[in-house]
Amino acid sequence: MKIGIALMEKNIEKDINQTFARAPYFAIYNSDNKEVVYFDNAAKDASGGAGVKAAQFFVDNNVDAIIAYRLGENAVQVLTKSNIKLFAPREELTAINNINLLIDNELNTLVDIHSGYHHG
Amino acid sequence: MGIITVNKMKKIAVLSGKGGSGKTFVSTNLSNVIHSSTYLDCDVEEPNGYIFFENNKLIANNTVYREIPTFDEEKCVGCRKCVDFCKFSALAFIGNKPLLFDEVCHSCGGCELVCEYGAIKNKKVDIGNIEIYEKGDKKIVSGKMKIGEASAVNLISEVLDQARGTTIVDCPPGSACSTMEAIKGAEFCILVTEPTIFSLHNIQMIVELVELFNIPYGFVLNKSDESIDYIIEDYINSIDKPLLAKIPFSKDIATQTANGKLVSDNDPIARDIFVSLADDLERKGILK
């Protein structure tokens, strides 16, 4: 299973970023070989449509699940239409600990969907 | 004190950053003292300037559209060119098909141009309307954005097309895309401010914006109170720009404005201030 997350630093021992589409980095963890790949988030500085662009990145990389604190409704639409499952992390845990919980089926489905942070 | 007559088209934008500083107050009253002027209300989320021109006559009401792409599933081969082309990320690519997020779409038409299979056709969607009023020698134009529409830019652009003679553009608050659209083509910007820290902070952002667009500007200090005017005046002096007018903080002015009256019709002192402002703009060559 491939799991996508947004990060403040390129380190899954740190926390998952509070926001998704405009986080500095993304990581994709492959539970089959326990490998993690880090990416600079190209959607971070988008003038608009950051949610769509960030979600498309994970769709194109064939992830199966996303762990995020909050997601915008456009990102959710792109992800769910591509059959990507969405989970809410536990606040007190690091990214890798949350990933391990997800693998053990211990994370709840994400419910915090916002209507986007639009500006002009 | 004379009423100014102008023939050549001149566009003056009135903006403030902070809402409630007095953009509509200044633009309606300034239009009122300029002969044959046009007032364009580009605050399209809540246009109310037309209310101040009593007994105006509605002469036209035009619907405004923008274009968004539609996709012919039979012709689309899933090449993804349109999705990759879209600079605004308004298109996602799911299950080998493009998916439009219409509120993100900027109606640039690029996706239709790059599609080699003729699978994309644009369709018009209604984004609001433009009401055109006449009152004596004045033209009053009000852009009204449809509720739920995300971007005011297309509508403002069409409101600006209604400019005629000396045109006063009542801009939206803030300093984002819609404000930038509203000041396009302006020969001069009037920055309306009030003696508060909040207004000072906002007007500095507006100064940055108009300097970026390289448009000359000056200030109107509204709700002026000698004891606190230094908040704004020190700043204006520090950047060496003109303070064009000061409008006193007055219960009478506020009451008349709240009742939908133009103080330049009803209050001799306020009228003098706006006529002097128009004269000053004329002397500076802005109204000539």
- Structure confidence by residue, pLDDT tens digits, B237-262: 999 999 999 999 999 999 999 999 99
Residue B106 and residue A48: Cβ atoms within 8 Å? yes
Domains and CATH numbers, chain A: 2-114 (3.30.420.130)
pLDDT above 90 covers a percentage of chain B that reads 91
Q: Is A48 on the interface with B (CB under 8 A)?
A: yes
Closest partner CB to B94 (pick from A46, A49, A82)? A82
Contacts of B95 in chain A (CB under 8 A): 81-82
pLDDT value, residue A117: 61
Spell out the alpha helix ranges (H) of A1-120. Answer: 50-60, 73-81, 95-103
Residue B176 and residue A50: Cβ atoms within 8 Å? no
Q: Please, are residues A94 and A12 in contact by the beta-carbon 8 Å criterion?
A: yes
Residue B92 and residue A55: Cβ atoms within 8 Å? yes
- Structure confidence by residue, pLDDT tens digits, A3-38: 999 999 999 999 999 999 999 999 999 999 999 999
- Structure confidence by residue, pLDDT tens digits, B98-114: 999 998 998 999 999 99
Question: DSSP state, B71?
Answer: E
Closest partner CB to A48 (pick from B89, B91, B93)? B89
Contacts of A50 in chain B (CB under 8 A): 89
Closest of B172, B79, B161 to residue B120, by C-alpha: B79
Q: Is the ipTM of this complex over 0.90?
A: no
Closest partner CB to B88 (pick from A48, A55, A118)? A48
Does position B6 have pLDDT exceeding 50, yes or no? no
Average pLDDT of the segment spanning B34-49: 96
Domains and CATH numbers, chain B: 10-64+128-283 (3.40.50.300), 73-118 (3.30.70.20)
Tally C-beta pairs within 8 A across A and B.
54
- Structure confidence by residue, pLDDT tens digits, A79-91: 999 999 999 999 9
Cβ neighbors of A70 (< 8 A, separation 6 or more) are A18, A19, A20, A110, A112, A113, A114
CA B278 – CA B24 distance, rounded (Å):
16
